Amino acid sequence: MTDQAAAAALEVGQPVPDFTLPASSGSDVSLHQFRGKKVVIYFYPADMTPTCTEQACAFRDYNGQFAELGTEVIGISPDELKAHGKFIAKHELPFLLLSDPEHRVCELFGVWQLKKLYGKEYMGVVRSTFLIDEQGRLLKEWRKVRIKGHVEAVLEAVKAQG
């Protein structure tokens, strides 16, 4: 998917289509279950990798502040639930991780894209975060995320929504 196609996948201010994925809790989780709360969904490439671990731990460290603001944090990657379970246990992650091995939700959000590493091209998750309001509308998006200061910026955006 091109960057233009990704940008067109969802538009700020528009409702986010409902989806259901298997969760680290052992049950299926749907976006509509979180109506009445803000939701931060962050997409990441893989459990246990250095940058993904740094990102998950940053969300973990601020999870209490998000919760005080009535906001759920959810991570999504293509990893299987077993890998999510190990990731959660090792880093004491207090939020759900959803498994999207067929990339359906990644594609819905426009984060499943062609990437390049060391001259090789492959399809993968482009690290991105989305803030969804209590009615299920997209409030803000961060694409091609750099970790430094990112979680703080997301928290500030939640605070700004009141």
Catalytic residue among 6, 21, 23, 52: 52
Task: Find all residues with CB under 8 Å of 68, minimum gap 6, and list them.
Answer: none
106 carries an active-site annotation: no
Gyration radius of the chain's alpha carbons:
15
d(CA 1, CA 32): 26
Residue 38 has phi, psi (to 5 degrees) of: -80, 150
Residue 117, amino acid: L
Active site residues: 52
